[in-house]
Chain A
Amino acid sequence: MRSSPAFHYHTFLEESIMRKALCLLMVFILFLLTGCTGNPDNQGGKSGPVTITIWHDKEAAVIAVLEEAVKALEPEIVVMFEKKAGMTESLKLVGNDKNAAPDMYFFAHDKIGVYAEMGILTPVTDLLGDDALAGYLPLTVKGGTYKGKIYQVPLYFETLLFMYNKKYMAEKDIPATTEQLYAYMQRKTKYGHYGFVEQHSTPYYAAGWIHGFGGSLITDDGVPCLDCAEVKSALTYHKKFVEYMPGETEYATVNTLFTEGMAHATIAGPWFVPTVRAVGIDVGIAPMPIVDETGLPLAPYSGIQGLHVLKVQAQQKKNVILQVLRTLMRPEVSVKLAKVSGCAPAVESCYTLDEVTNDSLIMAMRHTAETAIPMPNIPEMDVMWTVTGNLLTNVNMSGQDVDSAAKAAQKKVLELIEAMK
């Protein structure tokens, strides 16, 4: 039986469609495959400039200082700074992929433990030598140390500061102790004004009070201490201050109360100072009050910002990374960074320079650094923030009994730490 021309036409049409569809499919698969390959520029080529990629989450002014510093390495070495949204998660995903991982990242020290355990970081001392960080403030070196190895080249650090509005808080009223602060709050918290405000139920801020009682949220080897006597004493004592603070504990509310002139004093980070000055508030910085009961000052957490090297890239670009690190470790870079970031240099020798010693903000942080504690960088902190936040909220805002709330929080955090493993 012969087939009709119409049948031939249809068969031809179908085959033609099939061919086109197959082509489309092949193109699509090719697109997927090429999309999955890395950027060839990221490879350490044998000829031409070597590109070093540094991921970061910083503002443009800070990166401009670094870019200026590494220009001296061109044309042999080109350093690319890439601002990365969701950098911590991205590093988890591609941290060991040489085609996708950056060579370094510029971030706070508190994720070091997680990345070191994952095996994506290389100790910076393996590149720089054991004594490379000898001239750095002990606080900053401690922040980058995990299980005895140093994983960060610190560039600058920040600590929380006691700030006051000079219009309302006279020199004689600046509290030297926490009881003086409490008395001031009792006198001045009225008619919509607050004597003192802080993010009272946020672990990062409340930690200063806990340290002031000689306690800590967690030990260096990862044992949580939420039901320790010191922590419970701190929470009980701190609660009487909370009664003279607003119910909201979030960043925006607390800071707005200060910038609107409705709060006389606060504890905030150095990043808040430019905002305060911009609205015309004459802000003063004072040492942290001393807890009367213990004789210890409120000792806030400190965040150390610095460079971390990815193991997968260090293996093939060791010398180039080393050159970049040495360039960015120069004290003059640290000073410039401190100026633009409003933070304090990590290099000790910077504090002999006039431009640093004349800056009251930097020197206040240098002073606080004597007692401040680097945020723990152990992986267990990932669950500590949430559980401690819940504990603080339960005590300060839901009116739960400190003992039972602390006991429940300790039980919960132990379960979660167990679940991490």
Chain B
Amino acid sequence: MKKSNRTIAGKRTAVAYLVSAPSLVLIFLIVVFPILYTGYISLTNMNTYHWFDFRIIGLRNYERALLVFDSGFLSALLMTVIWTAVNMALQLIIAFLIANLLNVRHLPLRNVYKTILMFPWAMPGYVSILLWKTGMFNSEFGLLTQWMKELSGLTVRWLQNDLSAFICCTVVNLWLALPFMIMIMDGGLKSIDRSFYESATIDGAGSIRQAVFITLPCLKPIIGPSVMITLFTTFKQFDIIYLMTQQVGSQTGAHIHTIITYAYENAFITNNYGYSSAISIMIFVLLIVFAQTTKRRGKEADA
């Protein structure tokens, strides 16, 4: 009997694997294989001059890649951490406030506001970024520039220096990222049992105490995965900073670099795929370390 039970269990496991097989194959092809292949390429001399006849050269690319991790890279890493922290903090605060406003009882036209707030999400990021760059921040025709000219007579070049460019990039990132966070928080707020608030009100708790002791603790597990996803998206941000300040032909004079834009400018443009892959793998390891650290700290805070 035991044997036949084991056979049944074994068959069930096999069925489970078989049914999952197409998804597993897809995940392997889309996620695992590119990482493994990048790892393989990082051990070769694949570049313009050895495109099809590349060979394994061991860890030589990693030795050279370490040269990229110079003072410029460390500055970029620091900038990436600041960029991630500032953006995450602003996103969470603003999304929390807007989501709460959207959940005000008897709010008229609630769905209209939601639709408008989701609009940036529906637009391709590339288009949004260039619209902001040319439509808002352009020093000749941008809306902000026109306002400044009318108000003070001054022409401001918003993207020329590092600080103002950082602020402008943050604004664009918030515009692009807030809809997702608002949607998650809005869903989270809806899932909190109303009776908690009713009891708290009877006990004399005000809005702020209710937000701190009911809303935030209840929201935390719901928005946790979304925060993690956004954290990584922000950490490995490339397109906003590159398109706003560094695109060849429309550089602005600002020198803000995240680790990805720094790696792009110092390795990826060389067409040396072995070398670039080594840097990619090192950044990948860095992200894994960052993820584990964040996860551990999250667990410690919960404990």
Stretch from A152-160, A302-310, A324-332, A381-389 at the B interface: A381-389
CA distance A199 to B247 in the complex (A): 13
Nearest-Cβ distance from residue B244 to partner chain A, whole angstroms: 11
**With an 8 A cutoff between CB atoms, is A34 at the interface?**
no
CA distance A162 to B266 in the complex (A): 35
| A250/B249 contact (C-beta < 8 A), A18-B14, A386-B265 known | yes
Stretch from A51-59, A77-85, A170-178, A241-249 at the B interface: A241-249
In contact, A393 and B11 (Cβ under 8 angstroms): no
In contact, B48 and A118 (Cβ under 8 angstroms): yes
| A421/B22 contact (C-beta < 8 A), A1-B1, A247-B157 known | no
CA distance A252 to B138 in the complex (A): 10
Stretch from B36-44, B196-204, B215-223, B268-276 at the A interface: B268-276
Which listed residue, B14, B155, B267, touches A419 by the CB 8 Å rule? B267
Interface pairs A-B: 10 shortest CB-CB: A250-B250, A397-B253, A21-B18, A118-B51, A393-B251, A420-B270, A398-B253, A247-B157, A419-B270, A202-B249
Stretch from A22-30, A208-216, A278-286, A314-322 at the B interface: A22-30
* CB under 8 Å from chain A, chain B span 262-286: 265-267, 269-272, 275
* Interface size range on A against B: 35 or more
Query: Which residue of B has the minimal Cβ distance to A192?
Result: B140
Nearest-Cβ distance from residue A118 to partner chain B, whole angstroms: 4
Interface CB pairs A-B, < 8 A, 18 = A114-B271, A118-B48, A201-B251, A202-B250, A204-B249, A247-B155, A247-B160, A248-B138, A248-B157, A249-B250, A397-B160, A397-B252, A398-B160, A419-B267, A419-B270, A419-B272, A420-B47, A421-B272
**With an 8 A cutoff between CB atoms, is B25 at the interface?**
yes
In contact, B11 and A389 (Cβ under 8 angstroms): no
Q: Beyond the given A25-B22, A393-B253, A416-B269, please list 7 additional residue pairs across the A-B interface where CB-CB is below 8 A.
A: A25-B18, A114-B271, A246-B139, A248-B139, A385-B248, A393-B252, A398-B255
Nearest-Cβ distance from residue B137 to partner chain A, whole angstroms: 10
**With an 8 A cutoff between CB atoms, is A294 at the interface?**
no
- Chain B 230-271: CB-based contact to A (< 8 A → 1; otherwise 0): 000000000000000000111111010000000001110111
Which listed residue, B15, B157, B252, B270, touches A21 by the CB 8 Å rule? B15
**With an 8 A cutoff between CB atoms, is B103 at the interface?**
no
Nearest-Cβ distance from residue A29 to partner chain B, whole angstroms: 8
In contact, B139 and A382 (Cβ under 8 angstroms): no
Number of A-B contacts (CB under 8 A): 120
CA distance A201 to B52 in the complex (A): 36
CA distance A1 to B25 in the complex (A): 40
**With an 8 A cutoff between CB atoms, is A390 at the interface?**
yes
- Chain A 17-48: CB-based contact to B (< 8 A → 1; otherwise 0): 11001101100100000000000000000000
- Chain A 244-275: CB-based contact to B (< 8 A → 1; otherwise 0): 00111111110011000000000000000000
In contact, B249 and A251 (Cβ under 8 angstroms): yes
Nearest-Cβ distance from residue B183 to partner chain A, whole angstroms: 31
- Chain B 130-152: CB-based contact to A (< 8 A → 1; otherwise 0): 00001000111100000000000
Q: Which of A14, A118, A203, A249 has the most CB of B within 10 A?
A: A118
Query: Which residue of B has the minimal Cβ distance to A201?
Result: B251
In contact, B25 and A257 (Cβ under 8 angstroms): no
In contact, A21 and B21 (Cβ under 8 angstroms): yes
In contact, A252 and B18 (Cβ under 8 angstroms): no
Q: Which of A117, A204, A394 has the most CB of B within 10 A?
A: A117
**With an 8 A cutoff between CB atoms, is A379 at the interface?**
yes
